[in-house]
Structure formats: structure tokens, C-alpha cells
């Protein structure tokens, strides 16, 4: 969940999806929060890991950021819940973290900008320093972490993060976070760490503990009030998001589902039973009171797609066992973790016609959305968390200026936010481009803007909110009107100006940072040489 040197179906099942999340699923894509793999084809993520295309939801987003408009933010999980909350001035939150292992660079600026955007749209916004992760997973000393943490926070503040309207913290000094991590740890199993992250007997306990802490980070914005929450990250951090979504579901007191009779149907079975109910005029002797056994006969003979054939046999069996019971839609509250007091409170709270069983309650008057909110309200009133399943948005990795992946360990591939403006100018001037071999071929065939690190600088940073400039650079490049020399000169000048202004703003932010209640000098007792933590 924390950015390092890379720039719902509610309640996704770990058992069903986490193993394929670690492997390539036949596409060559692997998501590793601590590795250095690039994502060769972002579209593979939609199929392999269930990430949804952002362009399909952008019309629901109020005042979309230029990173959204230009497709830099390319995917999401359940972001609609956050977008709707922001559009309706309802509570929402955004959180992301930064692992302080080196200087902040222009890849990190993507996440800084995404946090600031959500803060400006009215979300409660959190920026955290993932120092426990840096110490346990990267072997950083506390002294090194202190230095880099200060640099990350100064850049975040300089770019416009308002600490009075948001919260900044370090994992190691936030006691509420650590208490939450302890509670969440009871819902995490070592088999899941193995499946999701490939942990084994050589993995240090502190590394595993840092992962649970990151789960707590992701859910931390909901401690005082459950609300839709978005985690802006690169796709390599998706394993953390999925694990947190699963843990959030496991903590809930009640599960709310659609039901039609006493049997419990899974998601695929419900699709078929809903179809049978909607088409009851075709098969029911009395459409006002259709019977389960008649629905079973209808489904048994119905044409269904191959993907639903296994579900049909199970649905038919359950309906046959229900016999003459009426088939009637209702909303079901399933008891997952509630104690007797909370379950009794829910019984009292469900209005109108209802049926109460040992481990569930059927409501015939509440729709799914109303039931979800009622379940959450009762849970919170009875000591539960009531977490919304966290959402996420995913941005593309920036290409290194020398080609390949942008990395802090390759000096020429990235531009640090601390680079001298002249050095930033020189790096851009020396960058690889998507140009042709000669000026003549460039004019004839056009440049390859989609493969050009310099064009990315315009789209991701230098054009800022000016879509017109980004479009002009692109069209002139692919149309053969723009040559690489002049394009790099313009980009280098803009980069120089950006770095100069940013570093002036960092100087101004130093006083503000000194006034914040965040410890930037970890106690000497914590300093020391790291042990044999995993890389």
C-alpha cells in the first residue's frame, strides 16, 4: 500500500482470488508490493485480478483530476462508492502511504497529487509514513528513515496538502493504529500470507507484522466513523488492497444478501433464482404465490449459459428441498460475528414484516442498500467497526527517462523532487524519446508518443491541469510536426521551473512541518542495526 521506488464485489474471497493474484495467470503479470516488476499490459489486470476500467466510471466523478482525464489513473476497485459520496457531500476518505527508502521523486508525486485532489473534493485525507515496513521489509535504519520521512512530508505539504484538514502520521508512533492492527491480526492467517505474498519459514515476524499494520492503515480512516475510503496506489500494491478488503469483511457482524426462500443461495445461484422469479408468469400456477418446487422444475429445463450450469444443479436441488415453500424475494441479514446483544438489537431494528431464525433475519420491506446501512448502524452501536470495504484507484507506472521502469536506484532514470533544477533540466535533455531515427522519418511517419518517456512527463506532470498542452504535444508528435530536440527543450525548461518552484515551496513548508504533531526523530532506543529481515 505504501509507494516505494515505483510510482467491488464487496468482500472478495481470499480463497478464490489471492493465489492467482501472486502468479501471472498466463499473462506474464505479477503483482509484488516489494518487488520491481513492471506491468507489461495493464488490460491483463482487468481480467486476471478483477480491477475495473476507470474510464467506465469517470462520468460519475465530480471534477475529475487530470490524471483521471488522461488515463494515467487507469483502474479502480469499487471507486463508485467514493465518487457518489463526494458528489453528494457525504463523508468519504482517502489514504495512501510512503515507504521512506530514498528521496521522493516525480513518480511519488502522482500519489501526492491524488491525495491532495481528494482532500480538495471534501474527503478526510490521510498521509502516512510506512516506517515499520521500511525497517522490516527493506532493512532501513531508523536514522535513515527519519531523514527520508521528513523529505516526503515536506514535498507533500509543498504541493498543497492541508494538515489542518487531514492527518499525517508514522506507523511506529501511532498507538491507535497499532491497537487496530492487533485486533485485525485475529482475522489474518499464515496461509493467507503464504498465498498472497509468498511468505515462508524464512520470513521474519516483523515483516508479517508490518503487513497487518498496513491493513490497519487502510482501514484507519474509518475508526471514528465508517465511510467509503479510497486508497490511491500503483498496481503493484493491489495485494495489500485485496487483503484489507477481505479483512474488512471478516470483521463485520452481519452479512446482507438477497434471498428468495429459506435456503441460502450463492451469488451465481441467486442470478438463476432471480430469473425464475421474474419469469414466474410462465411456469407458476399462481404467480402471486409461486412455489419453490415448481421453480426447480422450470430451472431444470431452462437454457442457461455454460458458466451457470454447475450453479443451476445446486439451485435446483435447494429449491426441490424447499418443496411447497413460497418463492418470495427478501433481504437477509446473516449473523457472522455478532454477540447475542447485537443480534437482538438487529431484530428490534428491522422494521415491518420479518422472520427471525437462529442465525439470520429475513426482511420483506428493506431493500439491499437500506439493510446494509441498518446492519452497519447496529454494529457500530454495539461495539463493532462497521467498516465499508475499502476502494482503490490505480495509476500507471512512469517510464524511466532512460527507458524501462523508473527507479530510485537508477539515478538517470528518475528525477528526484530534491534534484537541483539544473540537474533536472539536464536529465530531461538526455532522456530517451519515442522519436524516429531521423528528422525526415519523424516528419513522414510521426513520433511514437505512446512509447515516449518525455511525452509522459507532459501528461503526468508538466502540463499540469492544461489538457490542451498535453493534447497539443501528443498530436504534434504523432503528426510529425514536433521534433524531439525542441520537445525535450520545452520539457526540460518546464521541469527546471517546476523543481525551482517546488523547492521554494518546500522551504516555506519547513516551518509548517515543525508545528505538526508528528515525531520526526524516533527515540534513540529504537535505533540500531537491522536484523535479518526479508528483502
DSSP string, 191-247: HHHHHHH---TTS-HHHHHHHHHHHHHHHGGGSSS---EEEEE-GGGHHHHHHHHHH
Answer whether residue 457 shows pLDDT above 50: yes
The pLDDT value given to residue 12: 33
The pLDDT value given to residue 13: 34
Strands in 87-214 per DSSP E = 93-98, 124-129, 166-170
Whether the Cβ atoms of residue 323 and residue 290 lie closer than 8 Å to each other: no
Q: Distance between CA 214 and CA 203 in Å, rounded? A: 17
Identify which of 91, 1, 150, 42 has the alpha carbon closest to the alpha carbon of residue 388.
91
DSSP H stretches of helix in 410-532: 421-429, 439-445, 453-457, 467-478, 484-515
Q: H or E segment at 367?
A: none
- pLDDT tens-digit profile of 174-227? 999 999 999 999 998 989 888 888 888 888 899 889 899 999 999 999 999 999
The pLDDT value given to residue 28: 43
- pLDDT tens-digit profile of 459-517? 999 999 999 999 999 999 999 999 999 999 999 999 999 999 999 999 999 999 999 98
Cell 410462465 belongs to residue:
282
Q: Which CATH class is domain 411-515?
A: mainly alpha
Mean pLDDT of 327-339: 97
- String of DSSP letters for 65-98: -HHHHTTSEEEEESTHHHHHHHHTT---EEEEEE
Identify which of 394, 415, 417, 397 has the alpha carbon closest to the alpha carbon of residue 405.
397
Q: At what angle do helices 267-278 and 292-301 cross, to 10 degrees?
A: 100
Answer whether residue 454 shows pLDDT above 60: yes
- pLDDT tens-digit profile of 272-301? 999 999 999 999 999 999 999 999 999 999
pLDDT top residue among 2 and 184: 184
The pLDDT value given to residue 511: 95
The pLDDT value given to residue 137: 85
323: left (phi over 0), alpha (psi -120 to 50) or beta: left
The pLDDT value given to residue 138: 86
Same topology between domain 2-249+388-395 and domain 411-515: no
Q: Is the four-CA dihedral 261, 265, 269, 270 of positive or negative sign?
A: positive
- pLDDT tens-digit profile of 9-66? 333 333 333 333 333 333 344 444 434 444 456 666 667 778 899 999 999 999 999 9
Cell 449473523 belongs to residue:
335
Q: Distance between CA 444 and CA 190 in Å, rounded? A: 59
Distance of CA 484 to the CA centre of its chain: 36
The pLDDT value given to residue 15: 34
The pLDDT value given to residue 86: 97
* pTM of the entire predicted model: 0.86
The pLDDT value given to residue 42: 65
The pLDDT value given to residue 520: 87
The pLDDT value given to residue 35: 43
- pLDDT tens-digit profile of 302-328? 999 999 999 999 999 999 999 999 999
- pLDDT tens-digit profile of 232-266? 998 888 889 999 999 999 999 999 999 999 999 99
The pLDDT value given to residue 41: 64
Cell 527507458 belongs to residue:
403
Assign domain 2-249+388-395 to its CATH superfamily. Answer: HUPs (3.40.50.620)
Answer whether residue 529 shows pLDDT above 50: no
Radius of gyration, CA atoms only, the chain: 26
Q: Distance between CA 364 and CA 340 in Å, rounded? A: 23
Q: Distance between CA 217 and CA 95 in Å, rounded? A: 8
Question: Whole-angstrom distance between the N-terminal and C-terminal Cα of the chain?
Answer: 16
Phi, psi of 319 (to 5 degrees): -65, -40
Phi, psi of 54 (to 5 degrees): -70, -35
Angle of CA points 150, 430, 447, to nearest 5°: 115
pLDDT band at 1 (very low <50, low <70, confident <90, very high): low
- pLDDT tens-digit profile of 117-154? 999 999 999 999 999 999 988 888 899 999 999 999 99
Enumerate the domain spans of the chain.
2-249+388-395, 255-381, 411-515
DSSP H stretches of helix in 360-466: 368-381, 421-429, 439-445, 453-457
Amino acid at each position: 500500500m505504501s509507494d516505494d521506488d515505483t510510482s467491488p464485489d464487496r468482500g472478495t474471497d481470499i480463497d478464490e482470488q489471492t493465489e492467482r493474484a501472486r502468479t501471472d495467470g498466463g499473462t506474464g503479470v505479477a503483482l509484488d508490493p516489494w518487488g520491481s516488476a513492471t506491468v507489461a499490459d495493464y488490460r491483463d489486470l482487468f481480467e486476471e485480478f478483477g480491477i475495473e476500467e476507470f474510464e467506465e466510471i469517470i462520468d460519475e466523478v465530480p471534477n475529475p483530476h487530470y490524471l483521471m482525464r488522461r488515463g494515467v489513473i487507469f483502474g479502480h476497485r469499487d471507486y463508485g462508492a467514493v465518487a457518489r459520496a463526494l458528489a453528494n457531500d457525504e463523508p468519504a476518505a482517502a489514504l495512501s502511504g510512503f515507504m521512506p527508502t530514498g528521496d521522493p521523486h516525480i513518480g511519488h508525486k502522482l500519489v501526492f497529487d491524488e491525495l491532495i485532489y481528494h482532500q480538495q473534493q471534501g474527503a478526510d485525507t490521510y498521509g502516512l509514513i510506512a516506517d515499520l515496513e521500511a525497517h522490516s521489509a527493506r532493512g532501513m535504519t531508523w536514522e535513515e528513515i527519519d531523514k527520508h520521512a521528513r523529505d516526503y512530508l515536506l514535498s507533500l505539504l509543498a504541493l498543497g496538502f492541508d494538515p489542518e484538514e487531514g492527518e499525517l502520521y508514522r506507523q511506529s508512533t501511532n498507538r491507535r493504529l497499532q491497537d487496530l492492527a492487533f485486533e485485525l491480526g485475529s482475522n489474518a492467517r499464515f496461509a493467507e500470507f503464504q498465498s498472497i505474498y509468498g511468505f515462508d519459514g524464512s520470513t521474519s515476524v516483523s515483516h508479517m507484522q508490518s503487513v497487518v499494520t498496513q491493513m490497519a492503515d487502510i482501514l484507519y480512516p474509518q475508526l471514528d466513523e465508517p465511510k467509503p475510503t479510497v486508497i490511491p496506489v500503483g498496481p503493484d500494491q493491489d495485494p495489500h488492497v485485496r487483503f484489507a478488503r477481505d479483512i474488512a469483511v471478516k470483521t463485520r457482524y452481519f452479512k446482507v444478501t438477497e434471498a428468495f426462500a429459506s435456503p441460502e443461495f450463492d451469488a451465481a445461484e441467486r442470478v438463476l433464482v432471480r430469473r425464475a422469479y421474474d419469469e414466474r408468469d410462465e411456469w407458476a400456477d399462481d404467480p402471486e404465490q409461486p412455489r419453490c418446487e415448481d421453480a426447480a422444475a422450470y430451472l431444470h429445463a431452462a437454457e442457461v449459459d455454460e458458466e451457470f450450469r454447475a450453479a443451476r444443479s445446486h439451485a435446483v436441488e435447494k429449491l426441490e428441498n424447499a418443496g411447497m415453500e413460497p418463492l418470495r424475494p427478501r433481504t437477509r441479514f446473516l449473523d457472522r460475528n455478532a454477540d447475542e446483544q447485537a443480534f437482538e438489537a438487529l431484530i428490534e431494528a428491522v422494521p415491518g414484516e420479518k422472520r427471525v431464525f437462529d442465525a439470520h433475519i429475513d426482511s420483506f420491506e428493506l431493500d439491499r442498500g437500506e439493510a446494509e446501512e441498518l446492519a452497519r448502524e447496529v454494529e457500530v452501536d454495539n461495539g463493532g467497526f462497521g467498516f465499508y470495504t475499502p476502494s482503490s484507484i490505480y495509476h500507471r507506472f512512469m517510464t524511466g527517462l532512460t527507458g524501462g521502469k523508473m527507479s530510485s536506484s537508477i539515478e538517470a532514470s528518475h528525477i528526484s523532487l530534491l534534484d537541483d533544477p539544473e540537474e533536472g533540466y539536464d536529465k530531461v535533455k538526455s532522456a530517451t524519446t519515442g522519436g524516429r531515427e531521423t528528422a525526415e522519418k519523424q516528419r513522414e511517419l510521426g513520433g511514437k508518443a505512446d512509447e515516449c518517456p518525455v511525452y509522459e512527463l507532459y501528461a503526468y506532470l508538466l502540463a499540469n491541469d492544461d489538457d490542451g498542452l498535453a493534447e497539443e504535444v501528443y498530436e504534434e508528435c504523432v503528426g510529425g510536426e514536433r521534433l524531439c530536440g525542441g520537445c525535450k527543450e520545452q520539457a526540460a525548461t518546464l521541469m527546471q521551473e517546476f523543481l525551482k518552484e517546488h523547492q521554494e515551496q518546500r522551504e516555506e513548508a519547513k516551518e509548517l512541518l515543525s508545528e505538526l504533531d508528528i515525531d520526526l526523530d524516533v527515540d534513540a532506543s529504537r535505533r540500531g542495526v537491522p536484523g535479518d529481515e526479508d528483502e
